[in-house]
């Protein structure tokens, strides 16, 4: 038998033989080493499997996590300027010559013209099928529209359809069936819209009857009878004429909610006013007009009087809904949300009412208008409107010359800003600060910077602090302000600390942007 031995120099106590190697006492060291290797390999495999599982988990999260909605293309009527010519002194050729200047100065998307057919007293249609010669001829109008379209500018025209002038041929020729008469006399309490002290009925000696005029336009108007099929068809034919002959891009349908009257001429009371107005026939007329024009063209429903902003049924009836039963685009412009002037209109209350309305809930596109000539007030008002859904209307007479180039430049910057994704598909949060009553409108979209406008619509200079829901308060960037002397603190691209008070004078605003705390996650997903 072969014997292996190991002898230490210091002693020979340890001797290992081949038989000793085969004994059970020598096995544990080898088994321990083997299991250690296996444990290491298992640990590595577990680590790799965990990494693969984590990677798969990330992929699943990316696939299932609600990603940002793709921003739609900006519609031509959204976040832009409608330049309105409400007077009757315009000339088609002059507008054609100045069109490029208007586009450069006001950054316009559309010209909004007063009725292009003849009117009496600048208010009441004499007819619906001919161009008013005071503006030019048909060729002049065609050239204006063609040049506008070449420069991506649209043409909108006012279209009053509730009444005619008593100077119209229909009235002069005693075509009585064309109008609304009450042979029983002045028996109800209806008043004119613009003078609630004047009766809506006027006696006519020739017919020995009363005719209806719901608008007090210098005692010159008379309501037409849409229950006469000839009248109904004449109106539809007139829309078809302007739509096909001149390629007009939209119509401001004025008086649509007054076209049909209560059958029995009942007195108006607080209890039945909703039944006397906004009849089914009004809606059917609107739907018929919509069917006559191209779906891409808009109907601007200007100043639907007595339309409750909380009545979702009426809102759907006039403006359509998400199912698009009416079709096309109906743009709203209501009396409730028109800036009259600084003494009549409480702008903070106006925006608060809008924020709580069905219009805001349904994201109804709006055309915001002002009747004021105060340029600083108008700039602040328009800036706030652009943060909401819709466009602004600048009246060439009331605001066109009053707004300075500096103010118009700021509005142009806001328009470009509001055409970004965050303004088109982001969410809006409007608040009124409890202390100062300043208005703040915040737009946010996951994965993008938040934007906020802060406006002082009060009658005094104030300081206040604005609290941000998300983001670092010391990393807020100034985008734009109309402060007279902003100083270094409010210069564009300057970072300001939001935990410190902001100072704003009357009609001053500050636009800021910042990165929310979770923006990194928004970018990953």
Query: Higher confidence at residue 56 or residue 473?
Result: 56
Q: Output the CA–CA distances (angstroms, integers) from residue 292 to 185, 365, 371, 413, in the order listed.
A: 37, 22, 32, 37
Question: What CA–CA distances, in Å, run from 59 to 216, 425, 525?
Answer: 68, 26, 10
What is the separation of C-alpha 414 from the centre of its chain, rounded to a whole number of angstroms?
A: 14
Can you tell me the distance from the alpha carbon of 237 to that of 293, in angstroms, rounded to the nearest whole number? 11
Tokens of 464: 């206040």
Q: What is the mean pLDDT of the chain?
A: 82
Kindly indicate the confidence band of residue 277, based on its pLDDT and cuts at 50, 70 and 90. Answer: confident
For 166-182, the pLDDT digits (tens) are 999 999 999 999 999 98
Nearest to 498 by CA among 524, 465, 451: 465
Q: Distance between CA 426 and CA 436 in Å, rounded? A: 27
Mean pLDDT of 391-398: 90
* Secondary structure of 408-448 as H, E, C letters: HHHHHHHHHHHCCHHHHHCEEEEEECCCCCCEEEEEECCCC
Q: Is 453 helix (H, G, I), strand (E, B) or coil?
A: strand
Query: Which contacts of 125-129 are long-range, i.e. CB under 8 A and separated by 24 or more positions?
Result: 125/160, 125/163, 125/164, 125/165, 125/168, 126/164, 126/165, 126/167, 126/168, 126/169, 127/168, 127/169, 128/234, 128/235, 128/238, 128/241, 129/238, 129/241
Element (H, E) at 454: strand 450-455
CA distance 458 to 445: 30
pLDDT of residue 10: 45
Bridge partners of 125? Answer: 119
Answer with the residue of higher pLDDT: 22 or 137. 137
Burial of 11 (0-12, 13-18, 19+ CB in 10 A): exposed
pLDDT digits (tens, 9 = 90+) for 132-179: 999 999 999 999 999 999 999 999 999 999 999 999 999 999 999 999
The answer to which of 3-12, 109-118, 198-207 has the lowest mean pLDDT is 3-12
- What is the average pLDDT across 34-62? 80
Q: Given a cut of 80, is residue 191 above it in pLDDT?
A: yes
Query: Within 10 Å of residue 229's Cβ, how many Cβ atoms?
Result: 8
User: What is the CA angle 222-283-301, rounded to 5?
Assistant: 70
Strands (E), 92-190: 108-113, 119-120, 124-125, 154-160, 163-165, 181-182
pLDDT surpasses 50 at 183: yes
Is the domain spanning 82-162+231-357 CATH 3.40.640.10? The answer is no
pLDDT by residue (tens digit) across 366-388?
A: 888 898 989 999 999 999 999 98
What is the per-residue pLDDT for 313? 72
299 band by pLDDT with thresholds 50, 70 and 90: confident
Give 334's contacts (C-beta < 8 A, 6+ positions apart).
Answer: 303, 304, 307, 309, 359
Is 60 exceeded by the pLDDT of residue 65? no
Task: Report the DSSP beta bridge partners of residue 252.
Answer: 158, 300
Is the pLDDT reported for residue 466 higher than 80? yes
- pLDDT digits 0-9 by tens, 224-233: 999 999 999 9
pLDDT for 49: 85
Q: Of all residues in the chain, what percent carry a pLDDT higher than 90?
A: 37
Q: What is the mean pLDDT of the segment spanning 11-36?
A: 54
**pTM for the model:** 0.80
Domain ranges of the chain: 82-162+231-357
Q: Residue 20: is its pLDDT beyond 70?
A: no
Q: How far apart are CA 59 and CA 524, in angstroms?
A: 11
Higher pLDDT, 512 or 256: 512
């Amino acid at each position: 038998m072969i014997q292996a031995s190991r002898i230490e120099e210091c002693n020979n106590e340890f001797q290992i033989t081949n038989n000793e190697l085969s004994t059970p006492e020598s096995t544990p060291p080898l088994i321990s080493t083997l299991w250690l290797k296996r444990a290491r390999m298992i640990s590595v495999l577990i680590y790799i499997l965990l990494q693969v599982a984590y990677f798969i988990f990330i992929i699943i999260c990316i696939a299932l996590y609600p990603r940002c909605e793709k921003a739609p293309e900006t519609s031509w009527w959204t976040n832009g300027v409608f330049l309105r010519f409400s007077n009757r002194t315009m000339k088609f050729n002059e507008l054609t010559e100045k069109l490029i200047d208007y586009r450069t100065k006001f950054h316009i998307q559309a010209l909004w013209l007063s009725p292009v057919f003849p009117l009496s007293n600048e208010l009441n249609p004499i007819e619906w099928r001919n161009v008013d010669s005071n503006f030019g001829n048909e060729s002049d109008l065609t050239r204006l529209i063609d040049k506008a379209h070449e420069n991506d500018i649209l043409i909108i025209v006012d279209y009053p359809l509730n009444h005619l002038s008593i100077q119209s041929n229909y009235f002069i020729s005693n075509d009585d069936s064309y109008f609304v008469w009450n042979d029983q006399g002045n028996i109800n309490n209806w008043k004119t819209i613009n003078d609630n002290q004047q009766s809506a009925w006027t006696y006519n000696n020739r017919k020995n009857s009363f005719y209806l005029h719901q608008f007090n336009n210098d005692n010159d108007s008379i309501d037409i009878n849409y229950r006469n099929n000839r009248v109904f068809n004449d109106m539809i034919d007139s829309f078809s004429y302007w739509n096909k002959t001149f390629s007009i891009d939209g119509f401001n349908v004025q008086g649509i909610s007054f076209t049909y009257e209560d059958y029995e001429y009942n007195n108006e009371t607080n209890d039945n006013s909703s039944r006397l107005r906004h009849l089914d026939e009004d809606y059917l007329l609107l739907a018929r007009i919509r069917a006559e024009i191209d779906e891409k063209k808009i109907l601007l429903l200007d100043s639907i009087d007595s339309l409750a902003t909380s009545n979702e049924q009426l809102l759907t009836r006039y403006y359509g809904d998400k199912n698009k039963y009416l079709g096309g685009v109906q743009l709203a412009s209501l009396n409730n949300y028109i800036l009259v002037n600084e003494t009549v209109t409480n702008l903070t209350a106006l925006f608060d009412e809008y924020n709580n309305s069905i219009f805001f809930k349904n994201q109804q596109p709006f055309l915001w208008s002002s009747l004021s000539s105060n340029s600083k007030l108008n700039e602040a008002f328009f800036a706030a409107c652009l943060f909401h859904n819709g466009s602004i209307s600048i009246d060439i007479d009331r605001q066109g010359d009053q707004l300075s180039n500096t103010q118009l430049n700021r509005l142009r910057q806001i328009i470009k800003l509001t055409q970004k994704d965050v303004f088109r598909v982001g969410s809006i949060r409007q608040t009124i600060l409890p202390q100062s009553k300043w208005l703040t409108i915040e737009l946010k979209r996951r994965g993008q910077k938040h934007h906020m406008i802060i406006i002082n619509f009060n009658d005094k200079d104030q300081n206040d602090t604005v609290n941000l829901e998300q983001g670092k308060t010391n990393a807020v960037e100034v985008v734009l302000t109309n402060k007279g002397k902003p100083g270094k603190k409010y210069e564009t691209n300057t970072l300001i600390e939001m935990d410190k008070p902001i100072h704003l004078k009357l009609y001053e605003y500050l636009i800021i942007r910042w990165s929310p705390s979770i923006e990194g996650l928004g970018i990953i997903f």
